[in-house]
Structures are given as C-alpha cells and as structure tokens.
Amino acid sequence: MGPLYREHHCAGCRSPPRTRGSNRALTAWPHFRRPKGCARDASGLWRREDPGRLMIVCAFALFIVRPCAATHMATSPENPQSPHNRRFHVGSALAPWGAHSMTPRTSVLIVDDEPAVRDLMSKWVESLGFQSRTASSSEEAIASLTSTDYDIAVIDVMMPGRNGLWLVGELRRNHPHTAVVLATGHVELLAGSSQPVADLLVKPFRRARFAQAVDRGREWRRRAVEEREWHERLSTELRDIVVSVMSELQQVRAANGSELDALVGMASQRIPDVAAHSERVARFCLSTSRELGVPPHDFGDIALAARFHDIGKIATPAALLTKPSPLTPGEAAIMRQHVNAGADILEQTAALKHVAPLVRASHEWFGGGGYPHKLAGARIPLASRLITVADAYDAMTQDRAYRGPLDSPEAVAELLRCTPSQFDPDVVCAFLTVLGRH
C-alpha cells in the first residue's frame, strides 16, 4: 500500500514537520509515540494489524483515520497539481467514527409480511449504518412501538389483518414525529389517503432508491423534531405573554375601573386590525341571529363573544399575525392557541367570564374537524356557530398580509363549499339571506 497522506496539520500540535512534503513528515514530530500493537510501514507511518485504519498519536489526542485519499485530502492552494502537497483534514476523516458515534444511530422499523423482502430491507438499513428492527404485521409493529420510538418506519401497504394505511394512521396519532415511508406494488390503493408520508417506494425497487427514501425519512424526522421543539418553546413564551397581559389588564382596570374598557383599549392598541374585524363579526352575528329567530335576551352574549372571539391574539407573536406567506404547520399550531388564550383571559374577567366557553368553541367545525376540542353539530353553542360563519366571511373579504381579498361571490362560494363540514347549514342560509339584503 502506498503512502496515505503527505502532510498532516494538527491544530493541537505546535511543532511543524521538519520534512515538508515528505512521506516521513509524521516521523519528524517528536511528540508522536508508537501506538501499542503497531509497526511502521515502508512509508514511515504507523499501522495497526487492521490495514483499513491508520492510528496517529500526538500529545493531545488519539486519531483513528480512515485511508480514503479521494475523500479526505484537499489540494493545497500553493500548488494545486502537486501530488506531494496535500493537506489532511482531521475533522472530515474522523467523521465516520467520531461524529456518528457521538450521536444516536437512526432507528428504522421495517414492516412487511414477506420475510425475504423484510430481511433484504433490514440488511440495506444496516449497510447504511442505521439500526433496524422488523415486524411482519401492523399488530406486531404496534407492539414494538410501545417500547421504542423509531425515527423512520418503512411500511408495506398490503398485509394480512390490518393493512399499512391503518398503521400509518396509528403512527400519526401516537407517534407523530416518526417519518413514514410507504412501500407498495399497488399505488391505486393509496387513492384518497391523506396521511403525510416522507416518501413512497413502488415495488420492485433497488437499493439506491431505498437509500434515497430513508434519507428523505431522516430529513422529515429532523424537521418534525425541530418543529416540535420550536412549538414547545413558543408555547412557553405564549403562556408567559398571557400572564403579562393579565397583569397589565389588572393595572389598566385599577386605573379606570372598567374591565370591558380596559380590554377593548388593549385590543385596539395591540391588534387594531383584529379589533376592527371583531366589530364587523359582531354586527354580522346579530343580524344573522335575528334572521334565525334567536331570543333578543341572547343578543348581548352573542355580541360580546363575537367582539372578543380573537382577543387571545393579544398573546400571539406579532410576526405570525403579519407574516406575508402561509404559516408552517408549527406556526399554525401556535396561531390556534389564541383560542384557549382568549378564553383564559376572559375567564379572569368578571364581566366576560360567562362568554369564555363561547369564545373557546368559536373555531370548532360543524363536522367535528375544528379545534380545540373537535366538537360537532349541536354540541357547539349556537353563538359559536354564528361566529364561525361570520368570521370566515369577513376574513376572506378583507385584505390580509398573505393574500388579497376575495370578492363577495367568491367568499360565498367558499362558504357553500365548506358546508356542512365546517359550517352549520342553517346558519349559512340565514347569513346569506342577511347578506343578500345588504
């Protein structure tokens, strides 16, 4: 075997090699010691019995270096073409042992009912340097998931018993940060599936395509974990902001003696666009209530709930309220917290405490797909169903940071498209009657 490296530069060693550019440059360093079980080769470098590694010992560290000149040598700018003028980069050479050993190995769960396919994919995972675990069915995979949180799950779609799509649904509910790679020879079975996956492998596939899918799964997992951490950090900040808002509200209330005036003033100052929007929503709700025949004694609570349905945005980071592009899933999750934040603020305000449940339900969907509690149908208070329709229409027809306004016919078409999944049909009908009169 020829010489591995022509010149070694170690940040921890101050003495430069005496024989610059020589095969024996390393031997000139007085603080190199003979490693146990090693002998010099013809080029003067220490070698272990394992010919695949070179051990270098200096006064400060022990390096076990992989001999891959094409990967770990960079041409010196002084003489780019000279084969005797190379710089060895310790950091990159150490990566295969040092970097990967310092961080947990990626764990991959292989779920497939065919033993040969399952074993082959498991070998591929191990050849990539990752940990592999196999399961022959969705039920076996669920049992494995009770004790291990995998980074990636490669799941066959067609399996006896519960199929792979069922397993994906379970993962999304209970292990939302596990990246899913689906594998199937029947792509038509995926029609109508809306579960988020990192990649889709169409059988048969080769090792290179499998490695690409695993790489995409690792990236999906990385983003999911980063988003979770960011979400948790912002959630903590949001709670702190709510506490601060309540403290400030108490100070303002002590100054002027009116809880309502204090809250309205704070909303107008901090979120002026939201405050104006809420006033329009309140007017729409009252007109629609009359059309529905709601008793007049309920008008006051409906108006209050509508006027303060977005008060929780006082505690939402301003950067999210004015972001000119669509929100990321993590940002959308933070934005949704304004509902609970607003209800919490109202519960601390004696004059508005009774409408806090109406505000908390103001983003529920008639079909059960809303938040925060996924209420549906008549379980959602009527006042909240009124707010949902009026809020959506006003939001669509007003200019927003991330889009221009829709005209009224376009907004009406969208309301009808989302009825009854999102909106109460009776409320939409009454709202459109009111809208037609104006």
**Domain residue extents for the chain:** 26-100, 104-222, 258-437
Contact residues for 261 (Cβ-Cβ < 8 A; gap 6+): none
The helix/strand/coil state of 88 is strand
Beta carbons of 4 and 22 less than 8 angstroms apart? no
Beta carbons of 137 and 161 less than 8 angstroms apart? yes
Distance, in Å, from the CA atom of 142 to the CA atom of 171, rounded to the nearest integer, reads: 9
Distance, in Å, from the CA atom of 10 to the CA atom of 90, rounded to the nearest integer, reads: 8
Distance, in Å, from the CA atom of 348 to the CA atom of 242, rounded to the nearest integer, reads: 11
pLDDT at residue 186, as a whole number: 80
Burial of 414 (0-12, 13-18, 19+ CB in 10 A): middle
pLDDT range class, residue 253, cuts 50, 70, 90? low
Residue 39 in this model has a pLDDT that exceeds 50: yes
pLDDT range class, residue 248, cuts 50, 70, 90? low
176-223 residue pLDDT tens: 889 999 998 887 777 667 678 899 999 899 999 999 999 999 999 988
pLDDT range class, residue 103, cuts 50, 70, 90? low
Q: What is the mean pLDDT of residues 248-275?
A: 65
pLDDT range class, residue 388, cuts 50, 70, 90? very high
310-360 residue pLDDT tens: 988 887 877 888 888 888 877 888 888 899 888 988 888 878 889 999 999
Residue 377 in this model has a pLDDT that exceeds 90: yes
Residue 88 in this model has a pLDDT that exceeds 60: no
pLDDT range class, residue 246, cuts 50, 70, 90? low
What are the strands, taking DSSP E only, across 309-405?
none
- The tokens for 135 are 């399961």
Pair type for strands 199-202 and 179-184: parallel
pLDDT range class, residue 5, cuts 50, 70, 90? very low
Q: Which residue has the tokens 């988003």?
A: 227
Residue 406 in this model has a pLDDT that exceeds 70: yes
CATH code that applies to domain 258-437: 1.10.3210.10
Instruction: Supply the mean pLDDT for the chain.
Output: 76
pLDDT at residue 359, as a whole number: 96
Contact residues for 59 (Cβ-Cβ < 8 A; gap 6+): 12, 13, 31
How far is the CA of 309 from the CAs of 306, 319, 341, 345, in angstroms?
5, 20, 10, 11
Beta carbons of 127 and 105 less than 8 angstroms apart? no
pLDDT at residue 317, as a whole number: 79
Per CATH, the homologous superfamily of domain 104-222 is Response regulator (3.40.50.2300)
Better-scored residue on pLDDT, 294 or 70:
294
Better-scored residue on pLDDT, 143 or 257:
143
Residue 70 in this model has a pLDDT that exceeds 60: no
- Report the interhelical angle of 425-437 vs 408-417 (nearest 10°): 170
pTM of the model: 0.50
418-434 residue pLDDT tens: 999 999 999 999 999 99
pLDDT range class, residue 16, cuts 50, 70, 90? very low
